[in-house]
Amino acid sequence: QVQLVESGGGVVQPGRSLRLSCAASGFTSSSYGIHWVRQAPGKGLEWVAVIWYDGTNKYYADSVKGRFTVSRDNSKNTLYLQMNSLRAEDTAVYYCARGVLSFGNAFDIWGQGTMVTVSS
Amino acid sequence: DIVMTQSPDSLAVSLGERATINCKSSQSVLYSSINKNYLAWYQQKPGQPPKLLIYWASTRESGVPDRFSGSGSGTDFTLTISSLQAEDVALYYCQQYYSTTGTFGQGTKVEIK
C-alpha cells in the first residue's frame, strides 16, 4: 500500500525545536520529491518546503526560511522536517506529500498529518 | 512568489446543479515549451488530508468522478462540478507548482443549498 505516515508532532514552547518524520512505504521514495504542507487550525493550506528526490535541492517558504530544514534518508525511506526557533504561528497540522513530476509536481499521495502546537 | 486567488470563498449549490470555482494566478503558470499549466486542484473534507483531483489544469486523477473537470490556461482556471453530489461537500484548493515554491489558493467551501 502506497502511503506516507508523519510522526513527531506535539506541544512545544516558543523558541524550541521539533523534528517531524515522514515514513514512506509501498513505493521508492528516492524517486520522488517530497513536500511539506501545513494547515493552521481552521485555515487553508500553506506549502512549507520541498526536498528533491536525490536531496540535491531544497526550497522553503519565506515564512520558514532559515528556521526549518528538510532532509531525507533514502536508505530508510524516511523524510524529515527539522523545525527550529518555533513560533506560535507555526502551530498547524503538518502534512508530507509526494510530488509527481509527470503530473506537473502535483501531490498525489498525502500523509494523515501530525499536529504541532507551539505554546508556552 | 506566485499568489493564487480563488473565488468565491464559498458557494452553496443545489444537489444535481453545477458548481464553478475560479482560480487566478498572479503570473502565468503555463510552461510554454511543453504547453502545460502547472496547476492542480485538491479536495479536502473535514479531518482528512487533501485529495488530488486535477493536475496539468485539466487532467483528472485516476478514480476521480468525471463530474469534476478543470479548464483554463495561463493565469485563469476553473474547477467545475457538473452535477453536485452530497459527497462533494468539501473545501477545494487550487495550487501552482510553476515556481520552486508551490502556493495554494485560500480555498473555496462548497455546500449544499
Whether the pLDDT of residue B36 is over 90: the answer is yes
For every residue of B53-94, DSSP letters joined together read EEETTTEEPTT--TTEEEEEETTEEEEEESS--GGG-EEEEE
Confidence of residue B52 (pLDDT cuts 50, 70, 90): very high
Per-residue confidence (pLDDT) for residue A58, from 0 to 100? 96
Whether the pLDDT of residue B41 is over 90: the answer is yes
Per-residue confidence (pLDDT) for residue B48, from 0 to 100? 97
Tell me how crowded residue A85 is: count the other CB atoms within 10 A of its CB.
13
Nearest CA to B1 among A87, A46, A56, A94? A46
Whether the pLDDT of residue A103 is over 90: the answer is no
Greater confidence, A28 or B23? B23
The grid coordinates of residue B32 equal: 510554454
For A27-79, write each residue's pLDDT tens digit.
Answer: 988 889 999 999 999 999 999 999 998 889 999 999 999 999 999 998 999 99
Confidence of residue B1 (pLDDT cuts 50, 70, 90): confident
Confidence of residue B34 (pLDDT cuts 50, 70, 90): very high
For A106-120, write each residue's pLDDT tens digit.
Answer: 999 999 999 999 999
Q: Which residues contact A1 (CB under 8 A, 6 or more apart)?
A: A25, A26
- Find residue A45's DSSP bridge partners: A39
Q: Is residue B86 classed as helix, strand or coil in its secondary structure? A: helix
Residue B11, classified by CB atoms within 10 Å of its CB into exposed (0-12), middle (13-18) or buried (19+), is middle
Any B CB within 8 A of A112 CB? yes
How far apart are alpha carbons B69 and B91 in whole angstroms? Answer: 16
Whether the pLDDT of residue A102 is over 90: the answer is no
Confidence of residue B32 (pLDDT cuts 50, 70, 90): very high
Chain A residues touching residue B50 (CB < 8 angstroms): 37, 45, 95, 97, 107, 110
Asked whether B109 and B44 are in contact (CB, 8 A), the reply is no
A117 HSE (CA, 13 A, CB side): 5
Instruction: Please tell me which of the candidates B1, B40, B49 has its beta carbon nearest to residue A106.
Output: B40
Q: Is residue A103 classed as helix, strand or coil in its secondary structure? A: helix
The grid coordinates of residue B26 equal: 498572479
Residue B103 C-alpha, separation from nearest chain A C-alpha, in angstroms: 6
Query: Average of pLDDT values for B2-16?
Result: 97
Whether the pLDDT of residue A105 is over 90: the answer is no
Tell me how crowded residue A2 is: count the other CB atoms within 10 A of its CB.
10
Nearest CA in chain A to B60: A103
**Average pLDDT score, chain B:** 97
Confidence of residue A5 (pLDDT cuts 50, 70, 90): very high
Any A CB within 8 A of B61 CB? yes
Chain B residues touching residue A97 (CB < 8 angstroms): 49-50
Confidence of residue B13 (pLDDT cuts 50, 70, 90): very high
Per-residue confidence (pLDDT) for residue B72, from 0 to 100? 98
Residue B89, classified by CB atoms within 10 Å of its CB into exposed (0-12), middle (13-18) or buried (19+), is middle
